[in-house]
Amino acid sequence: MKQDAKRLRLMNLIETLLRVTNKFQAELNRPHYFEALNETLYPAEIHMILTVGNRNGITVTQLADLVGITKGAVSQTVSKLEKKGLVNKDQDPDNTSRVLITLTTRGKAVYYAHEANHEERDKEVLDFLINLPDTGLLILENFFRLMETMVDRHIHSGDHGVKQ
């Protein structure tokens, strides 16, 4: 009987995860207007700005690894952001074959505006996570690592159908 109750809770958890994933995916397609800059940006561009802002002076390869997309996709997005005056691409003084990506003043404005927006809108979730004991954070870290591994396995298996 306990197994049935636990199985039902797990099914509900998976359904919630799928629902949140679907909502998040829909949000990723919705552009955001930054009035102070008179600039419309897509979430992929915003998240690229956030990643660069968190690690100022980052390479395309590092960005691709962190964001989970190809180097080609990173290069395309970075080029768009450079044309919009949001990032700079500069030669790495320690390795002239590498390019470092940094935020411009306009890019920093997007970074700080987006961070402030998240702090305001996501306060409840952020407070919950900050107040979690280390063991709770460890459980979440392990869960998301396992989820990422599972998704990677599905992506790379080449089999996206259901086996009968």
Residue 99's CB is within 10 A of a number of other CB atoms, namely: 16
Look at domain 31-121 and name its CATH class. Answer: mainly alpha
pLDDT tens digit sequence for 128-140: 999 999 999 999 9
Domain residue ranges in the chain: 31-121, 123-159
Q: Does the pTM of the predicted model rise above 0.75?
A: no
pLDDT tens digit sequence for 54-108: 997 999 999 999 998 999 999 999 999 999 999 999 998 988 889 999 999 999 9
What is the rounded distance in angstroms from the CA atom of residue 128 to the CA atom of residue 150? 26
Burial class (CB in 10 A: 0-12, 13-18, 19+), 8: exposed
Distances (CA, A) of 28 to 31, 32, 67: 8, 10, 14
